[in-house]
Structure 1
Amino acid sequence: MKTDTLTVPGAEIYHEVRGTGPLLLLINGGDGDAAMFGPLAGLLAEHFTVVTYDLRGNSRSRLTGPPAEQRIEGHGHDAHLLLNAVAAGEPAYVFGTSYGGMIGADLLARHPGQVRALVAHEPFVVDLLPDADRWHALFQEVYERYEREGVDAAMQMFCEEIGVQGPPEPREDLPAPVREMLARLRVNMETCLAYELRSFVRFRPDAEALRTARFTLVIGGEGPKTLVHRTTRALAEHVGTGITEFPGGHVGFLTHPAAFAAALRGALRG
């Protein structure tokens, strides 16, 4: 595996490249970073040149200016610049989970020639819901709790409301790389709460761009039904497409990497 950083406006983007074959860009969401894709990327590297990275302002992708509200469109531009740097003009397969699926959709709409096919896993497109105003108000409350009581109280409220578990604590009995990743994710939670959540959930994908592209919308087939199940269905209606079930839940790529890799290969090569 090769690691490097790419200078983009306002940030240094840490990224990893492994494997050989057609280019595949994996885009994480929320407080995640490239390490969460480690098991999946290792399996996919047998078939693809896999690129993973930390979103700007998260983990090892440091900001080079003052922190400010972020938007999906800005992250889509980062993905565009990253592909320019590593792809040498080759279009890439793209997989994105949660916010990453939304970033992939923005990349596809603005730079369709860079995307060979897009698979979006449980995109958090809250603004497409009929009760979107209620959720926007709730996420403002989550932010205000973060300001008053800190990250733990805010994340507990957020996770309970949307029905998705947060990452575990970085316990001493865990392997060192896992502890280090969890420690980074904990810092990323603050970035998410302060600068991402309230603006990211107002993103509305370009339905026409998705209709005319190789686009697969997928959902975790296991576990309780959550808000991200609702948002995935809302996007399916918005675009007029079906939904494919993948193994596991919202982090099935981490809990079921082998089965998830097989499902993703099938969806990409469809």
Structure 2
Amino acid sequence: MTEPSAGSLRVNGATLHFEVRGRGPLLLLVPGGTGGTASFDAIADHLATEYTVAAYDPRGMSRSALDDPEAEQRVAEHADDALRVLDLLSPGEPARVFGSSSGAIAAVHLLTARPDRVVHLVAHEPPLVEVLPDAAEHRALIARVGETFRTQGLMPAMSVFAAGLKKDSDSDSAGPQAEVELPPQAAARAERTMADLPYFVGRIVPSFMSYAPDVHRLQALSDRLTLACGQDSRGELPYRPAEFLAERLGTELVHFPGGHTGLTTHPAEFGEALLKTLAAGTAG
């Protein structure tokens, strides 16, 4: 694995850690969950054969420290962080963007707010549950997660959250289950992931999963947006908003290898699929 060059960027209320590798047009990777830049380690070198690949730890995660650890988190501010990284690394030139999960929500807001800075966005399983016809049920889920976190602690809250993300037929599942055994690199990140989980469950989940995108704006920008899902995620909650939006926007829903965490469990195939999707999305 090529050692990336690292830097830090002051933004409103935080200092972001970012990493850059490769040469060519900029591709900004926006991580979801508690992954940070490390979630892209297994695919970044492959992507860097064609792009200058930049990734960063979202504010409050890993090496991106908040000025105020108790600050409320907003999707618009996270999207502005992505914009600031773009402005630093690709001033005056729009860039390609990939976002996963909660990172895809921030990236969707970036596209709608500043389309002049985005050539094309690939949004992988953004849990934009507010677009769904049964959004009220998912608001109730997030409320249950928050209440469980406050009264019982982190792991019971994670069990409630994981059960709510499963297919209906899997609703008796007792908590998070990996799709496959994680490779050693992913397993080595477990300690950092656990350290970030309270912040993710307490601050990111309620804010991001209550975010309602501007669907009319996305309709106007649909030629710059690819909605993607894991081929093994069908029926799960993170799959459904992308499926719904693709149908609403009249665009193709692209399937990537694996499930919601396919970039970790199937990195080689995932990276190749992303390169193909980016090439197709910006053709001509």
- For structure 2, which runs of at least 5 residues remain unmatched after alignment? 168-174
Within a 5 Å distance, the mapping from 1:116-265 to structure 2 comes to 116-163=119-166, 166=176, 178=186, 181-211=189-219, 212=221, 213-222=223-232, 225-265=235-275
Q: Structure 1 length normalisation: TM-score?
A: 0.91
* CA-CA distance at 1:120 after TM superposition: 0.6
Query: TM-score w.r.t. structure 2 length?
Result: 0.87
How many angstroms does 1:162 deviate by?
A: 0.6
Give, in angstroms, the shift of residue 163 of structure 1.
1.8
Q: Is the 8 A contact 1:125 1:235 kept in 2?
A: no
Question: Which residue number corresponds to residue 170 of structure 2?
Answer: none
Asked if the contact 1:145/1:154 (under 8 Å) is kept, the reply is yes
**Structure 1: which 4+ aligned runs deviate by more than 6 Å?**
none
Alpha-carbon distance between aligned partners in 2 of 1:54 and 1:167, rounded to the nearest angstrom: 24
Query: Does 2:113 align with 1:103?
Result: no
Instruction: For structure 1, list consecutive stretches of 5 or more residues without a partner in the other structure.
Output: 169-173
Per-residue deviation at 1:22?
Answer: 1.0
In angstroms, what is the RMSD of aligned CA positions? 1.9
Residue deviations 1:42-91 (CA, integer Å, cap 9, x gap):
21011110001111011111101242221211110110111111113221
In 2, Cα distance between the equivalents of 1:114 and 1:167?
37
CA contact (8 A) 2:233 2:239 kept: no
Cα deviations across residues 161-193 of structure 1 (Å, max 9, x unaligned)? 21297487xxxxx96x65652211112211111
Q: 2:229·2:242 contact (CA, 8 Å) conserved in 1? A: yes
Change (3 A) 1:166 1:5: farther
Could you tell me the percent identity over the aligned residues? Answer: 40
Asked if structure 2 preserves the Cα contact closer than 8 Å seen for 1:27 and 1:104, the reply is yes
Deviations 1:212-260 (A, max 9, x none): 3421111111256311121222222343322011111111111111211
- CA distance in 1 between counterparts of 2:165 and 2:187 reads 25
* More deviation, 36-45/59-68: 59-68
> How many residues of Structure 1 are paired with residues of Structure 2 in the alignment?
264
Aligned to 2:51: 48
The whole-number CA distance in structure 1 between the counterparts of 2:110 and 2:233 is 30
Amino acid at match of 1:58: M
Question: Counterparts of 1:32-111 in structure 2 under 5 Å?
Answer: 32-111=35-114
2:116 and 2:103 mapped to 1: Cα distance?
Answer: 19
Aligned to 2:156, the other structure's residue is in SS state helix
* Residue from 9, 14, 27 that aligns with 1:11: 14
Residue identity matched to 1:185? T
